[in-house]
Structure 1
Amino acid sequence: MTCIFKFRKRTSVIGQAISILFLSCSAIQLVQAQTQTQPQDQVNLGTVGTQGGASQVVEISAKPNSISAVAPTQVNLLATQPQSIISRAFIEQSVAPTGNFNTIAGIAPGASTQPSPNGPGTSDTKTVLRGFQDAQYNVTWDGIPFGDTNDPTHHSTAYFPAAVIGGVVVERGPGNASNLGQATYGGSINLYSKTPSANRSTELYYSRGGWNTNLFGIAFESGKLGDNDATLQLNVQNIKSDGYLTYNTMDGSNLVIKYAQKLGQNTRMTVFATYNDIKTKLPDSASGATLAQAALFGKNYSLNNDPTSQGYYGYNTVHKKTDMEYLRLQTNWGNGFQTDNNLYSYYYDNATFAGFDATGYLGAGIIAAGAGTNASSYSGAKVPVGGVLGYDKLNHYRVNGDIFKATKQFDAGLLRAGLWLENSDTRRHQYGLDMTTMTYLDPTFAGKGTKFNQNSSWTQYQPFVEFEWAVSEQTTVTPGIKYMNFKRSVDAVKNQGSSVAASFSETYKASLPFLTVNHAVDKENSIYAQYAKGMQTPVLGTALQVVTPANTPDPQTTTNYQIGVVHKSERFTVAADLYYIDFNNQIGSSTVAGQTVFFNQGGTVYKGFEIEGAYLLGSGWSAYANYSKNSAKFKDGNSAGTGSISKSPDMTAALGLQYNQGPWNASMIYKIVGQQYAQNGEPAAYKISAYDNTDLNVAYTFDHIGSILQKIKIQLSLYNLTDSRKVTSISTGATVALDQYQWQAPRSFMLSGKVMF
């Protein structure tokens, strides 16, 4: 396919990020040509969609033997903010089959993903972007922001396994006005489903790894069906693992269905649905082992087999069920006018049963001082003599929304406008239990023995407009503005935090301006700059879990200043950026007369430097590296103190060596996460030294086997190759002795096979 693209007809900001014009041939197509087959002289890197553009499909391809075909991360020449684009090719070659979006995103500069302490992909993990924690940035699926409804946090094992992710774009900034979400001020991790293949195929895949980890799946591609270019995709998989941590078993199943077809000549309909069901045994009341527990039982201690203990594996279970559906209509109306409407819904149900305090167990009948004992009370109600104190915790919500975007191409540039509408309905509770008899301590679910019994909801809308002004063939300037209106309500029999009945609401509003510039120096080099305002609405805990909302703190806000450069050629790609982020209205808390009070405590400055690049060495070999120097420190006057904010690594770096030639594929990826502190202000006792991880993957593909059996791929993976066992997390306990630690899981292996028909 011949690619012709004029700079003054650039796609939307996120569309730019994904379209990857740095590739030798980026196949940006209107919906009429969505299922075109891959050109013979191109390497398919995977396919992704776009949330920014209206009625556009993006396929990622590159010339064989080009650096763009193999680079783990890369940046678009049309970028207007720092970004890292991760293709399906990298996911398949270098990411654990048991992984998830955090496993993938962790390769990007400025991103630090805590390794799973239970083994690759077998427990939830979190990613930090430049010091911004989960809930301070967005995660989207095909342009749909999703997350918890009490705060926009995410559960990495709950929705999308690595097998169904077509590509990831890590954006380190608010983007333009059309970038949607409740926390764009910290950036976005944008996930994309696979664009359907034009060819019919069925793939069986299986992975066997350490700690009795087994993954089995079936993927089906219908290819083109009929004259309306209809396609159907199915993926079903199951994962089971005993886990490295004691009694932390996992059993999860996932189903994905995606159907697309043309409606007439100019409209394409896409229907998507996924369902995920995962059962794990976890100590909800602990985030790792105490030092005393690790000394007695090992660093992998988590749960035990003592029925008299609150840490007994039979009492500690987590069952999460999720789904997401969308109906998307993309239409090209002609004369440069396109629309894109995405009607969606997603659901999350977390039913947890847990011992009250799993941190104090030191053996049969031995409980550490300060830990919850069997004589402890739960919200004022005591467990019967001989019982074991625990609780029933529920987080259940449904979110419905619609995203409408329209674009109009003018000679002067591209006008984009749209509207995001969304509402949520949430039910949450936490009830005390005698775990030995599964008897509730409070049959009324409103008094003693009930920590909270709460309903909450939100209604929000965000209209936006922006104009990509083509100043010249080489330069675009994009001003824009987004208006946020977010109303959060609570109706609780017993509210969390305040422990009293509550029924009230709060509305938060903001107008957020944006301005970005991109200038093409030549065909291989560009520079960009961004100014953007961002806001995060106060989460449920700080907004409405109070006696009265009269003193609710103002939303947290940022002002972002970023500049960057990008170079791309067939053998070499490199991008670098500088950023300065002024973060204000940081929310803190204190206890007054037994009640938690939230307030704006001051500000923080985030600043740093990031660089990433890859070079084609030749004979199938390529090298990759990235580095970031990150600072997130309190401003003068912040009542939280001085020094760095917690969980904010001072640097990240990665090195990679890859081989891709003939039937062989191999990669060795090294990632280091710099020094950080588990608490604000850099207390020496909570210093977490830098830790690193090295993964090795080697694969061989048997191709063109027969008329029915097309391919067989065998892959051997070694994770944490150097067997590093460093501390990755410290969580504060009731006393210092009850602080909980997590360590890297030891070296492990995985053998994977794929058979394609």
Structure 2
Amino acid sequence: PTATVRSQIGSFNSRLVGFQYDTGVMQNYGDASGFIDYNHYQTDGALTNNNERRGNVFAKFIKPLSEDTAITVVAMQNNTYQNASPGATAQQISQYGSHYGLNQNPLSDAYVGYNNDNFTSNFDYIGLQTRFGDWKIDNKVYTTSYAHNAMNGFNPNGTGQQTLQAAGYGLTMAGGGTAQGSNIAGVTGLTAYQSYGDILRATRALGNDDLNFGLWVERQLHQSWTNNVDLSTGGIGSIINTPGLSNGGNQAETSSMNTIQPYVEYVWRPTSKWSITPGLKLNDFNRTYNSAFDTTVGGAFAYSHTWAALLPSLDVHYYVTDNWSAYGQAAEGFVAPLLFGSFYNPNQPIQPNASAGLAYLAPEKTMNYQLGTVFKSSKLTASADVYYITNNNQSQQSQIGNLITIQNIGAVHYQGVEGEATYNLGSGFNAYGNYSLNSYTSAVPIQNAPQSTAALGMLYEHNKTNASLIAKEIGSRWGGQDINGNYVHFGSYTTVNFAAGYNFGSLGWAKDAKLEFQLDDMFNRTDMVAFAGNTQGGNALFWTLPGRMFSLNLSAGF
């Protein structure tokens, strides 16, 4: 049995405390074992007024039932509260600095008190693993949940104060009364999901070969709503008269999705050098949607639709020598349309109860190819691959204020080459590097997709000391459109990161005591590096590098 405590401090007033207890193997309880881990983290954030608090608890328990069978129980709970900026315009970054996020002005819809998110989620499962004869069975029954309570300004970091009148809101308040023009326009909302499912994996040994098959089934329930509100009253009193509203309007919806995915694959080993695995999976989604009211489409409507596809795959490995292999892979992929991009009416805006006239967007279907090789010796570990991917119906998200829209950009082709290597220089030193060259063919730029990535550095580990110094480069890439309709281009950038650690071992009062230090972005780069969306007026919003930052971590077991 071991109890471990940890504490961490870092830049932007970041701090973490954590505790873990491991039971060890409890021979008096049938060799059961388990652990529970808790962490609490909080920070002021790299961006101004972007505070965050996060808590996590995770527990795992394993109980052998026999020599061949064990049961596992896992439970995890997460809670996060944050004040999150949507990004900043180039003018704001120039005027206030690269760390600008939210402000302290209650007359602005970028006020920190008007922009907050509260997330809760959990993940739990009971798993059974067993072996009998030539069979291996692994089954997990699970549940997950996610809830997001949000309050946001109508147009944070947009141009000027967004009053109810300026945002295009009518002035009638829920419960009566008239809003004044100085009141602040905003949105409150809830999105919640609950899933229940089962994952079965089975393997049957057939001489040198294996037959693998399984099944994933899941039922997901969803509900969400948004209300236009007066933020200066604390979000109390929804705006019910919203003529010509462009930010999403009042909305309430529920949906459910049933997923069934059986698969089968056969691992054929004709000789000791070959491993050939053909496979087939059925991917079947059924979604039912019901909107109680939605001012964005004119009223209530409902639909139900099923998407399905058979997805073949092939994996071939050839072992050139004991320490050198080559492989080839091909597989089809399939993704059903996003919930809010699943339907449209090609002839007219959606009217109340007009679901019969909906045309359903086609799902994204991909074909993926990869060829690669892996080599390992006492001095050198290296791998390289080339890939080619086609997506016949790619969707791309964009965000204007609080409204997320889906753009269907049609067929996209991706191709690239990747490689990495580590070479042992001796005396605890290893040289490390990786590189990828990526490109695509598309009608419009793919947002935030770099044309290349690279890393180069040195690793050290000897006795109780470890350290690394690595430079990482992200290549040039495109963002979304600016106010003039032009796509924004970003140049490449490089950051250099240093990390070091020392294991004190036993200190008498503690065992396995460790001290770790990390310094990221040593040369304090604060460039604009990613596209974050647009304001309601169309101005581009950006993310910046946070600049030089450090963390110091101490942990010890008892």
Do both proteins adopt the same fold according to a TM-score greater than 0.5, normalized to the shorter chain? yes
1:15-56 per-residue CA deviation (whole Å, 9 max, x = no partner) reads xxxxxxxxxxxxxxxxxxxxxxxxxxxxxxxxxxxxxxxxxx
Q: Which residue is equivalent to 1:523?
A: 322
* 8 Å contact from structure 1 (residues 645, 680) kept in 2: no
Residue 451 of structure 1 deviates from its aligned partner by 2.6
- Answering whether residue 166 of structure 2 is matched by residue 376 of structure 1, we say yes
Task: Write out aligned runs for 1:196-215 (5 A).
Answer: 200-215=1-16
Residue 397 of structure 1 aligns with an amino acid whose one-letter code is: Y
Structure with greater strand share of residues: 2
**Once the two structures are superposed, what CA deviation does each residue of 1:251-272 show, in whole Å capped at 9, x if it has no partner?**
1111000001111221111111
Contact 1:730 1:742 in 2 (8 A): yes
Cα gap change, 1:381 to 1:615, in 2 (>3 Å): farther
Structure 2 distance, partners of 1:581, 1:412, is 32
- Residue 387 of structure 1: CA displacement? 1.5
The correspondence for 1:441, drawn from 229, 232, 238, is 238
| Cα separation, 1, equivalents of 2:11 and 2:171 | 43
- 1:737 Cα deviation from its structure 2 partner: 6.7
Number of aligned positions between the proteins: 532
AA partner of residue 350 (structure 1): H
Contact kept, 8 Å, 1:553 with 1:599, in 2: the verdict is: no
Q: Give runs of aligned pairs for residues 473-512 of structure 1, distance below 5 A.
A: 473-495=272-294, 497-512=296-311
Q: Please state how far the C-alpha of 1:245 moved relative to its aligned partner.
A: 1.0
For the 8 Å contact 2:480–2:487, the answer to whether it is kept is no
Asked if 1:291 corresponds to 2:93, the answer is no
1:686 aligned counterpart, secondary structure:
strand
SS at match of 2:378: coil
- 1:570 Cα deviation from its structure 2 partner: 2.6
Structure 1 partner of 2:370: 562
In 2, Cα distance between the equivalents of 1:225 and 1:496?
60
- CA separation in 2, counterparts of 1:705 and 1:441? 61
Name the amino acid aligned to 1:262: P
1:406 equivalent to 2:208? Answer no
CA gap of 1:600–1:305, structure 2 versus 1, over 3 A, is closer
Is 1:673 matched up with 2:481? no
Query: The residue matched to 1:376 in structure 2 has which SS?
Result: coil
Query: Once the two structures are aligned, what percentage of the paired residues are identical?
Result: 29
Give the distance between the partners of 1:472 and 1:551, measured in 2 at CA: 52
Question: How far does residue 450 in structure 1 lie from its aligned partner after superposition?
Answer: 4.5
Residue 322 of structure 2 is aligned to residue 532 of structure 1: no
Corresponding letter in the other structure for 1:738: N
- 1:714 maps onto 2:515 in alignment: yes
2:193 is aligned, of 394, 397, 403, to 397
Task: Write the distance in 1 (CA, Å) between the matches of 2:481 and 2:239.
Answer: 37
Partners of 1:440 and 1:377 in 2: CA distance: 16
> What is the root-mean-square deviation in Å for CA atoms of aligned residues?
2.6
Q: 1:597 to 1:482 in 2, by over 3 A?
A: same
Q: What is aligned with 1:249?
A: 51
**Does structure 2 retain, via aligned residues, the 8 Å contact 1:420–1:462?**
yes
Which one is further off, 522-531 or 499-508? 499-508
Question: What stretches of structure 2 of length at least 5 have no aligned partner?
Answer: 174-178, 399-403
Q: CA deviation at 1:351?
A: 0.4
Alpha-carbon distance in 1 for matches of 2:458, 2:3: 31
Corresponding residue for 1:56? none
Assess, with a 3 A threshold, how the Cα gap between structure 1 residues 579 and 380 changes in structure 2: closer, same or farther. Answer: farther
- 1:388 aligns with 184
Residue 168 (structure 2) pairs with residue 344 (structure 1)? no
Per-residue displacement from partner, 1:387-442 (whole Å, max 9, x unpaired)? 21111121111111100111100015100111110011111111011112132224
Q: How many angstroms apart in 2 are the aligned matches of 1:495 and 1:735?
A: 20
Please name the residue that 2:66 is paired with: 264
Task: Select 1:461's aligned residue among 260, 269, 273.
Answer: 260
AA in 2 matched with 1:280: Q
Contact 1:671 1:692 in 2 (8 A): yes
Cα distance in 2 for partners of 1:733, 1:444 equals: 25
Query: Conserved in 2, the CA contact under 8 Å of 1:342 and 1:404?
Result: yes
AA in 1 matched with 2:20: A
Shift of 1:480: 0.8
- Equivalences for 1:631-670 in 2 at 5 Å? 631-634=439-442, 641=443, 644-670=445-471
* Cα gap change, 1:496 to 1:225, in 2 (>3 Å): farther
1:247-305 Cα shifts (integer Å, max 9, x gaps): 1111111100000111122111111111111111124xxx2111222232222111111
Residues 498 and 545 in structure 1, CA contact (< 8 A), matched pair in contact too: no
Deviation at 1:712, TM superposition (A): 2.0
Match of 2:410 in 1: 602
Give runs of aligned pairs for residues 166-205 of structure 1, distance below 5 A.
200-205=1-6
Partner of 1:421: 217
- Does the Cα contact within 8 Å between 2:170 and 2:241 map onto a contact in 1? no
CA distance in structure 2 between the aligned counterparts of 1:328 and 1:356, rounded to whole angstroms:
45
Deviation at 1:717, TM superposition (A): 1.4
Give yes or no for the alignment of 1:614 onto 2:422.
Answer: yes
- Cα 1:703–1:482 change in 2 (3 A) is same
Instruction: Note closer, same or farther for the CA distance 1:621–1:684 as it changes in structure 2 (3 Å cut).
Output: farther
**Correspondence for 1:752 among 531, 553, 556:** 553
Q: In structure 1, what residue type is equivalent to 2:368?
A: N
Q: Which has the larger radius of gyration?
A: 2
CA distance, structure 2, for counterparts of residue 268 and residue 428 of structure 1: 39
Please list, as runs of the form range in 1=range in 2, the aligned pairs for 1:101-180 lying within 5 A after superposition: none
- For the residue of structure 2 that corresponds to 1:440, the secondary structure is coil
2: CA distance, partners of 1:377 / 1:217: 45
- Alpha-carbon shift at residue 554 of structure 1 (Å): 1.4
Query: Which segment drifts farther, 551-560 or 581-590?
Result: 581-590
Deviations 1:501-532 (A, max 9, x none): 11211100100001110011111100000111
- CA 1:571–1:253: 2 relative to 1, 3 Å: same
Asked if 2 retains the 8 angstrom alpha-carbon contact of 1:552 and 1:598, the reply is: no
SS of the residue corresponding to residue 292 of structure 1 reads helix
Q: C-alpha separation between the residues in 1 aligned to 2:171 and 2:282?
A: 47
Q: Hey, what does 2:391 align to over in structure 1?
A: 583
Distance across 2 between alignment mates of 1:404 and 1:211: 45
Call closer, same or farther: CA 1:600–1:357 in 2, change over 3 Å: closer
Q: 1:632 to 1:293 in 2, by over 3 A?
A: same
Distance 1:236 1:510, change over 3 A: same
State the TM-score, normalized to the length of structure 2. 0.90
User: In 2, are the aligned partners of 1:531 and 1:560 still within 8 Å (CA)?
Assistant: yes
Over residues 722-750 of structure 1, what are the superposed CA-to-partner deviations in whole Å (9 max), with x where a residue is unaligned?
Answer: 11111111234247772111110110111
Q: Does the alignment pair 1:320 with 2:119?
A: yes
* Equivalent residue letter for 1:751: L
CA displacement 1:173-222 (0-9 Å, x = unmatched): xxxxxxxxxxxxxxxxxxxxxxxxxxx22111111111111111011211
Cα-to-partner distance string for 1:350-384 (whole Å, 9 max, x where unaligned): 101111111236xxxxx1xxx74442346656671
SS of 2:102 mapped into structure 1: coil
The aligned counterpart of 1:137 is: none
Cα separation, partners in 2 of 1:597 and 1:620, compared to 1, 3 Å: closer
- Which runs of no fewer than 5 residues in structure 1 stay unpaired? 1-199, 362-366, 591-595, 635-640
- What is the DSSP-based 3-state SS (H/G/I as helix, E as strand, rest coil) of the residue aligned with 1:459? strand
For residues 668-720 of structure 1, the C-alpha deviation after alignment (integer angstroms, 9 at most, x for no partner) is 12211110000389x875001112222111112211322x5213212221111
